[in-house]
Structure 1
Amino acid sequence: MFMALAFAARSTALRRVCALALVLSGSHVQGQSLNAPSPTAQASASGHKYPPVDERHPLAPALKLARASRKSLDSVRDYQCVFIKRELLNGAVVTQTMEMKFREEPFSVYLKNQEPNPGREILFVYGQNDNKLLAHEGSGLKSLVGTVPLAIDAPQVRAENRHPITEIGMRKLIDKVIAQWEYEGQFGETNVQYYPDAKIGGMSCPAIECTHPQPRRQFPFHVTRLYIDAQANLPVRIENYGYPAASGQEPPLVEEFTYVKVRTNVGLANEDFSAKNPAYKF
């Protein structure tokens, strides 16, 4: 359960941003558009161009924190972690926990399921294997089939994932949040709250919560929460909730992506993303 507390940041830079955040966090900006299109519109993380978000908008300080977190990823070449995702699929929330190896260049991902389907391995390297996933099951009759190449948008892949594997990783996560908030910052009906004492598994991860009281076509989610690791300043969780079906009901979880036990710049090599790695079972 979140508790709205005074935002007490540790660093001087963060305190400056949070001072502005506290002034704006409870505000509710009316109207359909805060900014008219401008020839100096900035490019968002997704490549779209929107006018700069007005400094009076509640999302302005939230975007500063998100962009600072993204900046912390500039020096990260690779990482290992445990990746946990919860997604609304076919009317039910499905949880998957995986060991993950990730490399920025070339874009490379190795996943090994802990649960469900323990032992399942997935490998994807952009530009290799015809840009297909390599997958195999860890046990059962399906494991006898061996390694199976799959298109990233194959029906059996989409059945278990809301997003393609090309959108995995902390950089993709924060890029999507920044692009979403840059767009939503052009409109009113936005409330922002800050939770400096939020934790993930005992790790301090201050959270930013953006809420839109009314469903509008420009707002894909009722609530978005971004968690940033207080020590490394890395974006380690995003939560997105839909609009409640009726007043007084809890908003339904749409998707949640969490990165824990993150170790950065461990020196991952080509072998870590090769089906020939003797430690793998491809």
Structure 2
Amino acid sequence: MKRDYLLAVPLVVALLIPASTRSVADEILASANTADRVSPPRLGDDDASLRLAPDSVISETEKLTAHHQELKRLVQQAQASLDQCRHQVRDYTCTFLAQERVDGRLEPTKRCQAKVRHIYPEDENDDVSTNIYIKFQSPKSMHGREVLWDSHANDGRMLVRKGGKVLGFMTAMIEPSSMLAMQGNRYTIHEFGIRRLLERIVDVGNAELSVEHVRVQSRPDVEINGRKCQYFEVVHPVRQEHLPFHIAKVYVDNELRLPILFEAFDWPEGESEDPVLMERYLYCDLKLNVGLTDADFDRSNPEYQFH
């Protein structure tokens, strides 16, 4: 598995044939018709729109800087969203777009349709049962690829139909962490989805509170693909080897109260260069509690092409 960068949301398996490299980082947003609206300017310390007032919930106000207070607010909001996910969100569908840098190479944009269902046990100490179905639309080398995964079945393996033009009909059970499954991907299927993203925000955000040099800023109304979002930007201005990123950006849908876009950047290679994109994930057309059933995660579903 690749390095565990902050808040990362995984994209599932790339099999056999690496995709082409003709895409650029911003294609993931352009393909969702958001390129002209999705990247607000970097915020300055004197930006009047920043909401850096202490949150009344924070008891350590005197000990925290304004930036740490804002980070605390982000973590608290993520925890509230995670609680909402656990108690109110049974399933969802979406169009998922992702671009990742793997082994120093920026992979092309991947676009897929996804169905996700979580079954929560009565005992909170027991594992959550997760079902995922994914069908890729692009790039061309992955078009038609299908992935079906039940966290509590098949010894954790995924059912994968390869897709693409070459032997696209091939179907096999694949171990998520195998070299074959990880080709062109930063993370395994275990990391896929909004719930996992929120867990990372909470876990790593709490750890960030102990980092001395961290800058956190926000805006309340940034438009992403026609959705109003809160925008959080977390910056490590001083490069340190143990820090997982230089800049992380989180966009939380104001209505759904869930993150729909995440971006992480590494430090620039030179002083005059731009930060390096590590990963970017976008959830479009997110629909909650649509009533997914066992048939949506059955390989014999007539809408699927598993053999």
What interval of TM-score do these two structures reach, taking the shorter chain for normalisation? 0.7 to 0.9
Give the aligned residue type for 2:82. R
- Per-residue CA deviations over 1:34-87 (Å, capped at 9, x if unaligned) read x9xxxxxxxxxxxxxxxxxx6442422222222233233230010000111110
Specify the code of the residue in structure 1 equivalent to 2:40: F
2:167 corresponds to which residue? 142
Give the deviation of 1:227 after TM superposition. Answer: 0.9
Cα RMSD of the aligned pairs, angstroms, is: 2.0
> How far does residue 277 in structure 1 lie from its aligned partner after superposition?
0.9
Partner of 2:222: 198
**Could you say which residue in structure 1 is the equivalent of 2:112?**
98
Corresponding residue SS for 1:64: helix
Report the equivalent of 1:109.
132
Task: Name which of 152, 162, 165 aligns with 2:176.
Answer: 152
AA in 1 matched with 2:54: L
Q: Is the 8 A contact 1:238 1:258 kept in 2?
A: yes
Residues 197-244 of structure 1, C-alpha deviations (whole Å, 9 max, x = no match)? 322212112110100011123321001111100111111122111111
Percent sequence identity over matched residues?
30
Matches of 1:181 and 1:217 in 2, distance apart?
18
1:62 corresponds to: 74
- Give yes or no for contact 1:173–1:238 (8 Å, CA) kept in 2: no
Amino acid at match of 1:118: H
Which position in structure 1 is the counterpart of 2:212? 188
State the alpha-carbon separation in 2 of the partners of residues 245 and 139 from structure 1. 35
Residue pair 1:2, 1:195 contacting (<8 A) in 2 also = no
> What SS is found at the alignment partner of 1:107?
strand
The 8 Å contact of residues 82 and 261 in structure 1, kept in 2 or not, is answered as yes
SS of 1:2's partner is coil
Matches within 5 A, 1:243-254: 243-254=267-278
SS at match of 1:198: strand
Structure 1, unmatched stretches of 5+, are 9-16, 22-34, 36-53
Match of 2:189 in 1: 165
Please give the alpha-carbon distance, in whole angstroms, between the structure 1 residues aligned to 2:239 and 2:296.
44
Q: Which residue of 1 aligns with 2:294?
A: 270
Corresponding position: 1:178 with 2:198? no
| Counterpart in the other structure of 1:20 | 54
Alignment pair present for 1:2 and 2:40 = yes
Q: Which has the higher contact order (CA 8 A, sep 6+)?
A: 2
Displacement of 1:149 = 0.8
Contact kept, 8 Å, 1:237 with 1:259, in 2: the verdict is: yes
Q: Which amino acid aligns with 2:151?
A: Y
Deviation at 1:279, TM superposition (A): 1.0
- How far has the Cα of 1:143 moved from its partner? 1.9
* CA–CA distance in structure 1, aligned partners of residues 198 and 265 of structure 2: 17
- Give distance in 1, aligned partners of 2:92 and 2:85: 11
Distance in 2 of aligned mates of 1:68 and 1:55: 21
Provide the rounded CA distance (Å) in 1 between the counterparts of 2:194 and 2:48: 28
The answer as to whether partners of 2:52 and 2:217 remain within 8 angstroms in 1 is no
Q: C-alpha separation between the residues in 2 aligned to 1:18 and 1:213? A: 18
Q: Which shows bigger deviation, 271-280 or 134-143?
A: 134-143
Extract structure 1 runs of 4+ deviating beyond 4 A: 5-8
Give deviations 1:126-168, integer Å, cap 9, x for gaps. 1212211111133423224x31111001112111210110111
The letter of the residue matching 2:72 is A
The answer to whether the aligner puts 1:209 opposite 2:221 as a matched pair is no
**Cα distance in 2 for residues equivalent to 1:78 and 1:124:** 14
Aligned pair count reads: 242
Among 71, 87, 93, the alignment partner of 2:100 is 87
Contact conserved, 2:263 with 2:280, CA < 8 A, in 1?
Answer: yes
Task: Indicate the SS of the match to 2:53.
Answer: helix
